[in-house]
Amino acid sequence: MDKKHIISEIIRTAKENSGIPLGSMKFEKETGIKKSDWEGKYWAKWSDAIKEAGFTPNKLQSAYDEKWLIEQLISLIREIRKFPSNSELRLKAHNTINFPASSTFNRIGTTAKRAKKILNYCEGKSDYLDVVEVCRDYIASSNKKEKIALEETENKMGYVYLQKSGGYYKIGKSTNVERRNYEIGIKLPEELEIIHKIRTDDPSGIEEYWHNRFQDKRKRGEWFELSSSDVKAFKIRKFM
């Protein structure tokens, strides 16, 4: 990949784009010429390549203005009549030369933050009521999904516990250690004591970890003959 060819492609693609040179990501998509083909070999940055090809670098190529990005999102919202997902942004960028790459919008935050910024931008502007409605619906839906996801995560939370009866220790898992302690304890001849419990979102995996760690000290089932240092190692963990 020589310098002359890259410059000729910059000129060709710029002519096809109403005389405006493409940004480096769009240029790579259109021509297959990667950043590694020119960076550090012919130019230190893309604006230098643009200058050598005879163009004035477009400021939006190196640092898109936040207001301009918001307006691009508003335009797309009105086009598809919904808040755009990242896949819809990629599709728009693929089909529209002047539309920025989807990753560019990361500069104004996550999709939820973008919606809030658009709301602030449209505040008090009567001609943006349609956009405001779309953004409010999206934010409400996003908040609902986050709440459900949080509840699901909380429901999956459990404990891996260490109990002691006589001279032996039991390592098990439960969502309610105290109830489990009672259920097991009434079947044992000696008192069953809860030594420690570790909160975790992966009870099965963490239980297996401790069983494997003390494998050579296993007596039967989930019962182990542990040393004081073993117990201390278990009690250090509050969450896994």
Mean pLDDT, residues 207-214 taken together:
95
Q: Three-class SS string for 141-184?
A: HHHHHHHHHHHHHHHHCEEEEEEEECCEEEEEEECCHHHHHHHH
Q: How far apart are CA 120 and CA 133, in angstroms?
A: 13
User: Is residue 60 pLDDT above 60, yes or no?
Assistant: no
Burial environment of residue 54 by CB neighbours within 10 A (0 to 12, 13 to 18, 19 or more) = exposed
Mind listing the pLDDT tens digit for each residue in 141-196? Answer: 888 887 777 766 656 788 999 999 999 999 999 989 999 999 998 989 999 999 99
Confidence of residue 62 (pLDDT cuts 50, 70, 90): very low
Closest CA to 77 of 25, 26, 136: 136
For residue 40, which amino acid is it?
A: G
Residue for token pair 């301009």: 68
Closest CA to 158 of 193, 195, 204: 204
Mean pLDDT, residues 227-236 taken together:
95
Q: How far apart are CA 193 and CA 182, in angstroms?
A: 10
Rounded to 10 deg, the angle between the 66-80 and 129-156 helix axes is 90
Greater model confidence, 94 or 59: 94
User: Is residue 6 pLDDT above 90, yes or no?
Assistant: yes
Residue for token pair 């919606």: 115
DSSP structure class, residue 189: S
Q: What is the mean pLDDT of the chain?
A: 88
Confidence of residue 99 (pLDDT cuts 50, 70, 90): confident
Measured in residues, the chain has a length of 240
Q: How far apart are CA 125 and CA 121, in angstroms?
A: 9
pTM: predicted TM-score of the whole model, two decimal places: 0.43
Helix H or strand E segment including 202: none
